[in-house]
Structure 1
């Protein structure tokens, strides 16, 4: 059992962004809570408004927000979690799929009791909440999310006689076949876009890896996962995406902007790059959620985003937890989503971004979102990435079941490094 420190939700105050912070028990009587947030997660104006509101309504805590770079952050956080320094962070923003790495070793505070109070955990996005959970204990508190949608050319849809976006995978295939004519690509889908493949696998009831008897095993060879790969193969064939590269080689925004491509799968923010490349498309870009097997729900998608954690070594556990509760609460989480075009952390807050077509499409998909397998060894799989090689071989005509078994064995080896 990992050590846990029960906490109580208390009031919190905050100062405007400070270059150096104030030591706990400073001359103004406030205690300092040091918060690490990642670069570009929140705008300076949002942080000013958030902290000003705290300062106006709370008197006992000063928040020292320190912006971090994503490059090298895992090693930096790991070091901070082991630190006894007075300057160590009390609250840290971490990538949702990074939480299992930090849970290992018992260096995060268990926030289960706090999250069961008034934090609305029953409505949290699963793709943010599940990676923050270990053995039914909640260590990572969902903050914001982003996920892939279908970006499409409205003019090409009109020319093909398609009056509304598809809502099922069968409709999607049929529409894409109609779009894949007259020199157009029905969809640009690179052969190694494994995040998109993951969604199709989850939609079929499969997974990339599963845990049995406390051991993780690759699961690409399950019948459900094979059905997901078959749908990917059929969809990918309705365009000219390279079978041996991912979506960044070449950058798919450039391909969409320069060619007659009807659709691609990406986060809505990619549209900005498309319009920069080709301003004539500004009014012709639309968005819809990745379709599901039925019209009842959008398809499953990989959910990226951030959770908030509290290190075990903080000397301000109650105050730190209060900061987490405020940042992840409905008021400021909604403000963050509107300001930064994110998906809020709860399905019940989706209406806050309904006015933005791209973000609304993300929010619809996020309700069915998932994350990578909840094991600290998953980064080793992404580093070696046998999934990409498997996809290329299948798209080139190799037997899917045979290649899936090989890739699954490799995933199993990577998830059990001590026994590989």
Structure 2
């Protein structure tokens, strides 16, 4: 991609200047940006992100603590949200605070629609403890535009009975032990693991563990890098693991839904978000109480594997007349009190590693939080959505699992990624 934006300050420099600027301000209550005291802050949250009860608790508490501000919270549908947000960012009467997917921030910044929150992030929000998978995609051109709200990521869901029958008393801590245990489980009528051939989010974690990536930016141009030695090692591990079950090589985890496959009772493991367990138990009530969770193992016992982190960031519309109030809303939602409340209410991972204890009582969420500490997100190119629209990573995986040469197929897929990320193309 040709860099059409000439200002590209380094992130570290931007944050250093932000911290230095803090010392010049008379107090944390003084925020840059306009807007008179008081007013109504319009907030868009997404369907399913927070319960009605949570939103009511938050609104009542916020308005009580900020007597000069009113909240107008509306819930939006995920379907078609991209175009709706793009239009709202150009509307002078649009929402002031918007929840967006963590990987969507870059495209909205690139269109010039978001306020830079670097100063507030460094001064008031404890950004040094943010989950990397939420913080990094919220950062663009040296500024912090997206403030992490909540996270979710994949873990291993396993059948305790099948593990017990195979003599496996403790979940594996390393990738090699995971392979060894899965080989033991893959016996007779039991699948060691059900892993679809096109589960590219899981593959991304293995690639990151090896030090590779999906795409890299160099001198303002994004390039696919699936053909690097590190990325190829990640694909090799995926291939070894996927072979220990009957997952289709030419389909993703939703075709058929892996929860339905697991619910039949003859699959020892799947890789999914913990909430998938509810769908499994609804499909097969006999499995209630028989499901366990562990973080995706890493290369060493001391660190879980890298995982793709999904979730949401909070952004502020550029030019809003209620900037001060909007920042107060973001600070509250991203602060410790409401982070703990949201995590316990919705079974999410809080936005900071230091708040993981808030979900320690829930086995699935605790496993998710352990993995989130090493979470990552997709490349921050504003054009990344073009890659996912006709995903060459999925096709690459199927070709390799079908017997294709990994290096040759990776090079071809990398070329397609590079073309999709080229902002100067047709």
Aligned to 2:192: 186
CA distance in 1, matches of 2:57, 2:122: 27
Q: Are 1:219 and 2:218 an aligned pair?
A: no
Give how far 1:56 is off. 2.5
Residue matched to 1:200: 206
Check if 1:73 corresponds to 2:81: yes
The size of the alignment, in residue pairs, is 404
Q: How does 1:64-213 map to 2 (within 5 A)?
A: 64-84=72-92, 86=93, 88-213=94-219
Counterpart secondary structure, 1:93: strand
Q: Is the 8 A contact 1:192 1:245 kept in 2?
A: yes
TM-score w.r.t. the length of structure 1 is 0.93
**Residues in 1 aligned to 2:283 and 2:29: alpha-carbon distance in whole angstroms:** 49
Instruction: Tell me, yes or no, if the aligned pair for 1:9 and 1:321 is still in contact at 8 Å.
Output: no
Q: How do 1:4-403 and structure 2 match up within 5 A?
A: 10=29, 30-84=38-92, 86=93, 88-403=94-409
List gaps (5 residues or longer) in structure 1.
13-23
Moved more, 312-321 or 287-296: 312-321
Kept after mapping to 1: 8 A contact 2:42/2:73 = yes
Question: CA RMSD of the aligned region, Å?
Answer: 2.0
Residue of structure 2 in register with 1:411 after alignment? 417
3-state SS in 1 of match to 2:123: coil
Distance (whole Å) between structure 2 residues aligned to residue 57 and residue 321 of structure 1? 14
In structure 2, stretches of 5+ residues that fail to align are 1-6, 9-13
For residues 5-61 of structure 1, give each alpha carbon's deviation from its aligned partner in whole angstroms, at most 9, with x where no partner exists.
99986499xxxxxxxxxxx99xxx941000000011111111111112123322110
Alpha-carbon distance in structure 2 between the residues aligned to 1:385 and 1:419: 18
User: For the Cα contact (< 8 Å) 1:11–1:58, is it kept in 2?
Assistant: no
Contact 2:124 2:331 in 1 (8 A): no
1:230 positional shift: 0.1
Q: Give the Cα separation in 2 of the matches to 1:259 and 1:286.
A: 14
SS in structure 1 of the partner of residue 226 of structure 2: coil
Report the counterpart of residue 4 of structure 2 in structure 1: none
Instruction: State the TM-score, normalized to the length of structure 2.
Output: 0.92
Q: Give the Cα–Cα distance (whole angstroms) in 1 for the partners of residues 313 and 129 of structure 2.
A: 15
Separation (CA, whole Å) in 1 of partners of 2:77 and 2:250:
31
C-alpha displacement of 1:105 = 2.7
Q: Could you say what secondary structure the match of 1:240 adopts?
A: coil
